[in-house]
């Protein structure tokens, strides 16, 4: 199976690889997937408390090229968005942007899960109620 | 000059040796006859070529030419060998013993037999990929008619104790079948010394053409028969009907002859290159060799790079190096290699494996390039891996409650 150019580009030059300080109150961390499934994503956001804008986003991913590309693209999209806007990111937007084939859609679902999980971690740390999301099929 | 891409997936298939192609060409055009045409020179030429190739094939495995049945490949050989014995010896029993790391052509054939009323025992393998001989003997019962154990494994290259297995089968009056696809032409295989009754092998894993293989069926001590799985003209002593693939057979014969003459040199050279590759990659921390290293094909190494996912790893160099991974990220099931899991490897290590299959045309320059590319990609991906970071921080990954999908 050939990868799309965008997947190859994110894989070769991933954006925002790294780690944010999870002890900070304005950093939300999402860790999703499982080693047994061959995919683990950790996505982190740093939020400006005053404006609710995501000022930084970082990821680390254990997985195939599409999983790496999905998380790399997700971090790019997150930066500059408010938390409320970030919640709206849909996995199908990632699929479309990266031209993921059907067998790789689960990578995009995982990235969406990682975003939501990071947002909820941030909300929890800041005394906000966790959002409930409808579960997507992987 | 180093020519890219490099092919290191020789367990999947091998390139054809140009000398094999050269031998085949006249049999597509000039000598196109049907080997079963008994009444004219076109048929005679074809038959003569087939007879000669049958001798070349038989000689490689120490068989009599009459014991070689040409097939379309090893999948057909596995089906014909196992189903053929099951049907032919139905009056003696219905129990077959095999093992969990067999190729799908054997496992699915056995499943088919189970659906038609047969009984199959699937032996587990030990952590090194070899079967336990005591367990094998204990599994034999009065209704057992066949032991089907592969010669060498396609994913990890481990070589089963064939002579010990055949001795146990013989002691209990049970026939012994082996899928020897990965072994024939690579290491010495002798049907008599090894005590093999039925054996499937194929040309395209030993620098011959695709679409041609053989089933060895013993004629003496004991005389073995298999029930044909295709009805037709009664070719190949009635065991495999169908017009003979003469050019393929000629190529298979030539490939066998070359293997017989060059196997020892190829194996010595390739095992040195394989060891160089393996030793260099093992310098990377948290890297593991899968399967027994003493009883292993000389040109194969299966290595897991922990905390890096195999398919992601392949992507780092698959434009330039052709390799396989035990990861199955592309499959709908997301299940990694069943062979590696059978060794007791955790799914994470199975997902992190690469299979290196060297071949006759592999050069040292290619191995040096591969060492560099693979090492660099592993290090790069580990920098990107959350699991690697946790490992480095001393977090026990097995203790984390992962969300399973």
B300-314 pLDDT per residue, tens: 999 999 999 999 999
| Same domain, yes or no: B301 and B251 | no
Q: Rounded to whole angstroms, how far apart are CA atoms B13 and A135?
A: 42
- The tally of domains found in chain B comes to 2
Residues of B in contact with A3 (CB under 8 A): 315
Average pLDDT per block of 10 residues along chain A, 138 residues long = 88 96 95 90 96 97 95 97 95 95 92 96 92 74
Q: Is residue B400 part of a domain?
A: no
Average pLDDT per block of 10 residues along chain B, 405 residues long = 93 98 97 96 97 98 98 98 98 98 97 98 98 98 98 97 98 98 98 98 98 98 96 94 97 98 98 98 97 98 96 93 78 75 89 96 98 97 96 89 70
B120: domain CATH number is 3.40.640.10
Q: Rounded to whole angstroms, how far apart are CA atoms A43 and A59?
A: 4
Residues of A involved in catalysis: 37, 107
Residue of A nearest to B387 (CA): A62
| Same domain, yes or no: B280 and B309 | yes
Q: Is residue B304 part of a domain?
A: yes
Short-list B101, B164, B160, B176, CA closest to B134: B164
> CB-based burial of residue A75 (10 Å sphere; 0-12 exposed, 13-18 middle, 19+ buried)?
buried
Which DSSP helix (H) or strand (E) runs through B353? strand B353-357
| Same domain, yes or no: B255 and B270 | no
Q: Is residue B405 part of a domain?
A: no
Cβ–Cβ contact B390 with A under 8 A = no
What is the dihedral angle through the alpha carbons of B103, B109, B111, B117, rounded to the nearest 10 degrees? -150
| Same domain, yes or no: B275 and B317 | yes
Cβ–Cβ contact B39 with A under 8 A = no
Residues of B in contact with A67 (CB under 8 A): 309, 312, 329
The alpha-carbon gap from B384 to the nearest alpha carbon of chain A, in Å, equals 5
| Same domain, yes or no: B80 and B141 | yes
Q: Is residue B70 part of a domain?
A: yes
User: What number of helices (H) and strands (E) belong to chain B?
Assistant: 12, 13
User: Which among B330, B336, B386 has CB closest to A62?
Assistant: B386
CB contact under 8 A, A31 and B332: no
Q: Rounded to whole angstroms, how far apart are CA atoms B154 and B227?
A: 27
Q: Rounded to whole angstroms, how far apart are CA atoms B298 and B47?
A: 36
CB contact under 8 A, B386 and A67: no
DSSP state of B186: T
Residue B334: per-residue pLDDT:
61
Answer whether B298's CB lies under 8 Å from B264's CB: no
Q: Rounded to whole angstroms, how far apart are CA atoms B71 and B245?
A: 9
* B329 in active site: yes
| Same domain, yes or no: B96 and B225 | yes
| Same domain, yes or no: B65 and B212 | yes
| Same domain, yes or no: B289 and B206 | no
Q: Is residue B221 part of a domain?
A: yes
CA-based torsion, B306, B308, B309, B311: positive or negative: negative
Cβ–Cβ pairs < 8 A, chains A and B: 94
The full length of chain A comes to 138
Which chain A residues in 23-42 lie under 8 Å from chain B, judged by CB atoms?
Answer: 31-42
How much is the pTM? 0.94
Residue A137: per-residue pLDDT:
61
SS3 B116: coil
Answer whether B236's CB lies under 8 Å from B69's CB: yes
Q: Is residue B391 part of a domain?
A: no
Residues of A in contact with B384 (CB under 8 A): 14, 17, 60-61, 68
Q: Is residue B402 part of a domain?
A: no
Q: Rounded to whole angstroms, how far apart are CA atoms B349 and B327?
A: 9
* Range(s) of the domain holding residue B359: 6-11+263-382
Residues of A in contact with B334 (CB under 8 A): 37-38, 106
Q: Rounded to whole angstroms, how far apart are CA atoms A81 and A86?
A: 6
Q: Rounded to whole angstroms, how far apart are CA atoms A111 and B383?
A: 19
Residue B330: per-residue pLDDT:
47
Q: Rounded to whole angstroms, how far apart are CA atoms B99 and B125?
A: 7
B213-255 pLDDT per residue, tens: 999 999 999 999 999 999 999 999 999 999 999 999 999 999 9
Q: Is residue B317 part of a domain?
A: yes
What burial letters (b/e) apply to A29-66, b meaning 16+ CB within 10 Å? Answer: bbbbbbbbbbbbbbbbbbbeeeeebbebbbbbbbbbbb
Short-list A84, A42, A62, A116, CA closest to B385: A62
Residue B196: per-residue pLDDT:
98
B301: domain CATH number is 3.90.1150.10
Fold for A5-125, please state it.
Sufe protein. Chain: A (3.90.1010)
- Residue B113: partners with Cβ closer than 8 Å, 6 or more residues away: B82, B83, B86, B96, B120
SS3 B158: strand
| Same domain, yes or no: B200 and B83 | yes
Q: Which residue out of B99, B110, B256, B329 is catalytically annotated?
A: B329
């Amino acid at each position: 199976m050939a990868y799309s150019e965008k997947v190859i580009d994110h894989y070769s030059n991933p954006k925002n690889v790294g780690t944010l300080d999870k002890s900070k109150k304005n950093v939300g961390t999402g860790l999703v997937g499982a080693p047994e499934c061959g995919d683990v994503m950790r996505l982190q956001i740093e939020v400006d408390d005053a404006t609710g804008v995501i000022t930084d986003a970082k990821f680390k991913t254990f997985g195939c090229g599409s999983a790496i590309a999905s998380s790399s693209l997700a971090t790019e999209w997150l930066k500059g968005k408010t938390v409320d806007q970030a919640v709206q990111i849909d996995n199908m937007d990632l699929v479309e942007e990266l031209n993921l084939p059907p067998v790789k859609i689960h990578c995009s679902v995982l990235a969406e899960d990682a975003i939501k999980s990071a947002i909820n971690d941030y909300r929890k740390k800041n005394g906000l109620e966790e959002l409930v999301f409808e579960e997507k099929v992987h | 000059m180093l020519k890219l891409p490099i092919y290191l997936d020789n367990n999947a298939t091998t390139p054809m040796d140009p000398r094999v192609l050269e031998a085949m060409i006249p049999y597509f055009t000039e000598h196109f006859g049907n080997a079963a045409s008994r009444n004219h020179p076109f048929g005679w030429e074809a038959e003569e070529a087939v007879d000669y190739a049958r001798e070349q094939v038989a000689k490689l495995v120490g068989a009599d030419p009459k014991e070689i049945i040409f097939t379309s490949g090893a999948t057909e050989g596995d089906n014909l060998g196992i189903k053929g014995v099951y049907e032919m010896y139905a009056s003696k029993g219905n129990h077959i013993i095999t093992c969990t790391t067999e190729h799908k052509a054997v496992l699915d054939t056995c499943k088919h037999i189970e659906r038609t009323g047969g009984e199959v025992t699937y032996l587990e393998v030990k952590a090194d990929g070899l079967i336990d001989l005591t367990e094998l003997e204990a599994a034999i019962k009065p209704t057992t008619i066949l032991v089907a154990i592969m010669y060498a494994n396609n994913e990890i290259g481990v070589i089963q104790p064939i002579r010990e297995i055949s001795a146990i089968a013989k002691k209990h009056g049970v026939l012994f079948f082996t899928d020897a696809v990965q072994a024939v032409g690579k290491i010495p295989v002798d049907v008599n010394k090894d005590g093999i009754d039925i054996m499937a092998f194929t040309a395209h894993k030993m620098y011959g053409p695709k679409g041609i293989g053989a089933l060895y069926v013993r004629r003496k001590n004991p005389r073995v028969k298999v029930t044909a799985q295709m009805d037709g003209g009664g070719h190949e002593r009635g065991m495999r009907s169908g017009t003979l693939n003469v050019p393929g057979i000629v190529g298979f014969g030539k490939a066998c002859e070359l293997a017989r003459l060059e196997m020892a040199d190829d194996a010595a050279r390739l095992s040195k290159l394989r060891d160089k590759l393996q030793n260099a990659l093992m310098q990377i921390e948290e890297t593991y060799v899968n399967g027994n290293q003493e009883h292993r094909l000389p040109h194969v190494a299966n290595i897991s790079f922990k905390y890096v996912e195999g398919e992601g790893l392949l992507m780092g160099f698959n434009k330039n190096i052709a390799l396989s991974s035990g990861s199955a990220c592309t499959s709908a099931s997301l299940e990694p290699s069943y062979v590696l899991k059978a060794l007791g490897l955790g799914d994470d290590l199975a997902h992190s494996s690469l299979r290196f299959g060297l071949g006759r045309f592999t050069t040292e320059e290619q191995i040096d390039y591969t060492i560099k590319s693979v090492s660099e990609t592993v290090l790069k991906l580990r920098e990107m891996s959350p699991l690697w970071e946790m490992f480095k921080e001393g977090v026990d990954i097995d203790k984390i409650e992962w969300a399973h999908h």
